[in-house]
Structure formats: C-alpha cells, structure tokens
C-alpha cells in the first residue's frame, strides 16, 4: 500500500460500528473525489459474526442518510496490523485487544480511537463509539452521527498528513 493509504476500522462484532465507519469513510472519500487513494476495510476483534452481513438496523439507518453498506464480517488478524496504515478502534475494549494482538512488536499501522479524530469528542475526552447492538433504535442514529463526524476528521487528517 505504498501509494494508497490503508485504513482498517475495528469493533467487536464487525456487523454494526466498524462496517458503518468503513461505508461512511468511503462515501466521504468518494464525494471528495479521493477514494482511489485509499484501501478501506473493517474487521471485528471477536469471531461472533464471521461471514454475516451488517446488522439490519445499522444498514437501515445508513440508508436513510444516503450511505450504502456492503460487507461480510471478518475477524482481525495480526497481519492486518502490518498491512494497514491506520487501525481505527471504536472503543477501549477493541483498542486493548488490538494492542494485545500486536504482541508488543513494532507494527506498520498507527492504532487510534476513531473519535480521536472528532475534535468535539476529543475535547471532552469521550473517545468511545458505544456498542449499539443491545440498545434501542436511537442508539443507531447516535452512532451514525458520531461515526460521520469522526470519519470527516480522519479523512481531513490523512489528506493533510499525506498530501499527494
Ligand atoms: P459491533 O456491535 O461491535 O459494533 O459490530 C456488536 C455486535 C454484536 C455483538 C456485540 C457488539 N455481540 O455480542 O454479538
């Protein structure tokens, strides 16, 4: 991925938050005309939902906002940590598991919280995208809002860090 920047979004199940972040980030990059500069994927730290399509509540919330999702859940591997430039965790549980997977070795990727790219979240030190899976319908709208703000920040960050 020397010319393209690799971004891997990671949550627990890879059926709600990280496939949403993948789709939102791709949508923003497409709208900005820079999608070709990226390899964008998502994965889960668990094996709970491998092979499954995204959660229908996430897909419907995204569709209402004009974002199309297409993904098959997979589990993150240690190789991902060297294949991608940015590994972007949704919450502290994911972050800790990814760090454990790295095994203390030097890795190509930079591990970050997604919301660290949202200035409004970083300012109040609220860096987690909460897991919406067991909650109500409102949770999916809240998660979409958070993911959208942070993905905008992440895209702007990378375009500044890695200008052509
Ligand atoms: P995600 O949400 O990590 O955003 O994909 C979850 C999906 C499934 C489960 C937990 C979180 N689960 O426990 O099955």
Q: Whose CA is closest to atom 6 on ligand 1?
A: 13
Atom nearest to 143 CA in ligand 1: 4
Is the pLDDT confidence value at 164 over 80? no
CA of 14 to the centre of ligand 1 (A): 7
Task: Check residues 135 and 84 and name the one with the higher pLDDT.
Answer: 84
- Indicate the average pLDDT of the chain: 95
Q: What is the pLDDT of residues 58-101, one digit of tens each?
A: 999 999 999 999 999 999 999 999 999 999 999 999 999 999 99
Task: Kindly list the structural domains of the chain, giving each domain's residue range(s) and its CATH number in brackets, ordered by start.
Answer: 5-161 (3.40.50.2300)
State pTM to two decimals. Answer: 0.97
What mean pLDDT do residues 103-121 have? Answer: 94
CA–centroid distance, 12 to ligand 1, in Å, is 5
Q: Is the pLDDT of residue 1 over 50?
A: no
Mean pLDDT of the region 104-128: 91
With contact defined as beta carbons under 8 Å apart, do 129 and 91 qualify?
yes
22 Cα–ligand 1 center, Å: 16
Q: Which residues form ligand 1's pocket by a CB distance below 6 Å? A: 11-17, 48, 131, 133
Phi, then psi, of 61 in degrees rounded to 5: -60, -45
Helix (H) / strand (E) containing 86? strand 86-89
- Share above pLDDT 70 across residues of the chain, in percent, rounded to a whole number: 99
**What's the whole-number mean pLDDT along residues 104-133?**
92
> Mean pLDDT across the stretch 102-115?
95
Q: Which of residues 43 and 125 earns the better pLDDT score?
A: 43
Give 17's contacts (C-beta < 8 A, 6+ positions apart).
9, 11, 58, 90, 129, 131, 132, 143, 147
Q: Which residue in 107, 118, 131, 149 is the catalytic one?
A: 131
Q: Could you tell me how far CA 21 lies from the centroid of its own chain? A: 4
Could you identify the atom of ligand 1 that is nearest to the CA of residue 73? 5
pLDDT tens sequence across 42-70 = 999 999 999 999 999 999 999 999 999 99
């Amino acid at each position: 991925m020397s010319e393209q920047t690799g971004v891997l979004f990671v949550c627990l199940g890879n059926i709600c938050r990280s496939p949403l972040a993948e789709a939102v980030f791709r949508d923003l990059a497409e709208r900005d005309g820079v999608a070709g500069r990226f390899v964008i994927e998502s994965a889960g730290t668990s094996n709970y939902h491998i092979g499954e399509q995204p959660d229908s509540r996430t897909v419907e919330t995204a569709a209402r906002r004009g974002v199309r999702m297409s993904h098959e859940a997979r589990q993150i591997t240690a190789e991902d940590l060297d294949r991608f430039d940015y590994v972007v965790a949704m919450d502290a549980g994911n972050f800790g598991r990814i760090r454990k997977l790295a095994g203390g070795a030097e890795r190509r990727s930079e591990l970050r919280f997604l919301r660290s790219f949202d200035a409004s979240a970083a300012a109040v030190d609220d860096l987690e995208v909460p897991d919406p899976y067991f909650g109500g319908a409102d949770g999916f709208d809240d998660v979409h809002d958070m993911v959208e703000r942070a993905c905008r920040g992440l895209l702007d960050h990378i375009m500044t860090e890695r200008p052509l």
